[in-house]
Amino acid sequence: MERVYIFDTTLRDGEQAPGFSMTTEEKLQMALQLARLGVDVIEAGFAAASKGDFEAVKLIAEEVKGPVICSLARALEKDIELAAQALEGAERKRIHTFIATSEIHMKYKLRLPPEEVLERAEKAVAFARRFTDDVEFSCEDATRSQREFLYRIIERAIKAGATVINIPDTVGYAVPEEFAQLIEDIRNNVPNIDKAIISVHCHDDLGMAVANSLMAIKHGARQVECTINGIGERAGNAALEEIVMALKVRKDFFGGLYTNINTKELYKTSRLLCRITGSFVPPNKAVVGDNAFAHESGIHQHGVLSNPLTYEIMSPEDVGFPSTRIVLGKHSGRHALKSKLKEMGYELSEEEIDKIFEKFKALADKKKEVYEEDLEAIIYEEVMKIEEEEPVKVLHYQVQTGDKLLPTATVVLSYMGEERTATSTGNGPVDAVIKAIQKALGIEPKLLDFSIKALTPNTDAQAESRLVIELDGIKSSGRGVDVDVIKASVQGFVDALNRAILRKNYILSRQRVREEGTV
């Protein structure tokens, strides 16, 4: 089996996309995660582009171990010298130099005749070899270049010392069959091509970056340049996660080709990039989107619950995704509802499930998704038929905080009618008050998820909190809304606590009834 090398350019080409700029520290954080992911090469930046880019490449070169650290450089000695300086501290380093090879670029951008472009490429590679044995050469806009010229410049670059030859589809112009043929033609017409690794770098202007990359790999490319979440110039680059999982899932088609990527880190890496850049991936994004392992259709849900392979060609665990998500909506069936109720801790008779299903369907027709709290309301109304008071009530709380104060909260609450008081500190005002509530109750549920968002754009907007906790093995969600972020958070936490306690009491009561032999 042959290996395909993963060259990640999230920090260079990816960052060049509008809205995706990162600070030096953010780039380092991302680079460390890319190393954990197992990429072979990290293109840390374009050292000559700015002082900030130089410092980022330098810091990553010094701090990140494992992958080859690379800097881009134009076919100019000053660019190559700066790249070499930035990479001095790298454990393993590569200089990636490039020049445009298409007629339109040579005429209108470079304003150079083809023969001078050939000379510049050759000299640039030879100069880069003074600093490292690992030199990559790229033919910018290769897919719109004349073939004979392309063959000549690749041959000259390899003779000058290039160890990797990159064939970029710079403007996303190629289609898969055509791009595959280009790789074949280069292999058949460049006499010394066996002395270098063929790399590809595809853009997604026509939505075919991943398909082009995969077809190039199928036809002999052994390095693929890509980015996390497919970010990059214009419509973006080929998405790393899609290429890696395509090779893994379809080993039969790709002849056993493999990468050294730790796929269980893919979801985590995607989410880290989103947090750093303030971006998000579409829900339907392959591999790492929120809906990648979500199912709402009753037929699909039934199949997945019976055997995930019916509708999932990879497991969520393979990419580090939390789990398959069964979304309850108007397309969901009885099987999915029953499974969800069991997951929530409710053991119900078929007659009780029938009642709940009827109410669930009526509600699902009115809203996009039915949440756990919606189901609990139906259960209390249709099955439990109890008017039990909420066990926990916050009577009063006070928080002291400031830029030079340790956040401290005091709460007075009622638990099952008994008044309790506690004080605690925290990392922030919300953390402090939640810890004080836990201290007063003598319980410490596990916080699984916490989010807060503004419902309107103004500074006096209402904040909505959503929390998911786990208490004694019982998962519960809660919601709070208020103009005060702290109050909204307290409401959400207490709401989740009360649901968990009531659910626990319900489960215990059902167990007692069974033990007494009346059910």
Share of the chain above pLDDT 90, in %: 62
What is the C-alpha to C-alpha distance for residues 255 and 135, in angstroms, rounded to an integer?
A: 28
**Residues 324 and 403 both lie in one domain:** no
Residue 326's SS3 state is strand
- Write down the residue that tokens 């063929």 correspond to: 198
**Residues 196 and 80 both lie in one domain:** yes
Query: Is residue 289 assigned to a domain?
Result: no
Query: Is residue 368 assigned to a domain?
Result: yes
Query: Is residue 123 assigned to a domain?
Result: yes
What is the C-alpha to C-alpha distance for residues 348 and 318, in angstroms, rounded to an integer?
A: 33
Instruction: Summarize the annotated binding site as residue ranges.
Output: 13, 201, 203, 237
Domain termination residue (choose one: 348, 365, 384): 384
pLDDT in tens, 31-85: 999 999 999 999 999 999 999 999 999 999 999 999 999 999 999 999 999 999 9
How confident is the model at residue 349, as a pLDDT?
Answer: 77
**Residues 40 and 113 both lie in one domain:** yes
Domain termination residue (choose one: 384, 403, 436): 384
**Residues 142 and 27 both lie in one domain:** yes
**Residues 427 and 405 both lie in one domain:** yes
Query: Domain with 442 in it: what CATH number?
Result: 3.30.160.270
Q: Looking at residues 420-440, what average pLDDT do you find? A: 93
Report how many domains make up the chain: 3
Query: Is residue 284 assigned to a domain?
Result: no
Q: Looking at residues 241-259, what average pLDDT do you find? A: 96
Per-residue pLDDT at 372 exceeds 90: no
**Quick check: pTM over 0.75?**
no
Query: Is residue 283 assigned to a domain?
Result: no
Q: Looking at residues 311-340, what average pLDDT do you find? A: 72
pLDDT in tens, 179-210: 999 999 999 999 999 999 999 999 999 999 99
**What confidence category does residue 379 fall into, taking pLDDT thresholds of 50, 70 and 90?**
confident
Could you tell me the sign of the dihedral formed by the alpha carbons of 495, 499, 504, 508, in that order?
positive
Domain termination residue (choose one: 277, 312, 337): 277
**Residues 403 and 486 both lie in one domain:** yes
How confident is the model at residue 468, as a pLDDT?
Answer: 85
What is the C-alpha to C-alpha distance for residues 225 and 263, in angstroms, rounded to an integer?
A: 17
Closest-CA residue to 269 (of 237, 238, 235, 240): 240
Closest-CA residue to 377 (of 352, 360, 397): 360
Is there a contact between 412 and 419 (Cβ–Cβ < 8 Å)?
yes
Other beta carbons within 10 Å of 269: 26
**Residues 306 and 166 both lie in one domain:** no
- Cα distances from 79 to residues 66, 124, 127, 164, 342, in angstroms, run 25, 10, 11, 19, 62
Per-residue pLDDT at 340 exceeds 90: no
Task: List CB contacts of 106: < 8 A, sequence separation 6 or more.
Answer: 100, 112, 113, 114, 117
How confident is the model at residue 519, as a pLDDT?
Answer: 43
**Residues 416 and 448 both lie in one domain:** yes
Is there a contact between 413 and 419 (Cβ–Cβ < 8 Å)?
yes
What is the C-alpha to C-alpha distance for residues 121 and 137, in angstroms, rounded to an integer?
A: 8
pLDDT in tens, 74-87: 999 999 999 999 99
For residue 186, give both structure tokens: 């280069």
Query: Is residue 519 assigned to a domain?
Result: no
pLDDT in tens, 255-273: 999 999 999 999 999 989 9
Share of the chain above pLDDT 70, in %: 87
What is the C-alpha to C-alpha distance for residues 245 and 264, in angstroms, rounded to an integer?
A: 11
How confident is the model at residue 290, as a pLDDT?
Answer: 73
**Residues 194 and 319 both lie in one domain:** no
Which structural domain range is residue 416 located in? 392-510
Instruction: Summarize the annotated binding site for Mn(2+) as residue ranges.
Output: 13, 201, 203, 237
Per-residue pLDDT at 172 exceeds 70: yes
What is the C-alpha to C-alpha distance for residues 378 and 280, in angstroms, rounded to an integer?
A: 34
Residue 426's SS3 state is coil
For residue 208, give both structure tokens: 């075919």
**Residues 247 and 118 both lie in one domain:** yes
Query: Is residue 288 assigned to a domain?
Result: no
What is the C-alpha to C-alpha distance for residues 395 and 422, in angstroms, rounded to an integer?
A: 12
**Residues 362 and 400 both lie in one domain:** no
**Residues 313 and 266 both lie in one domain:** no
How confident is the model at residue 113, as a pLDDT?
Answer: 96
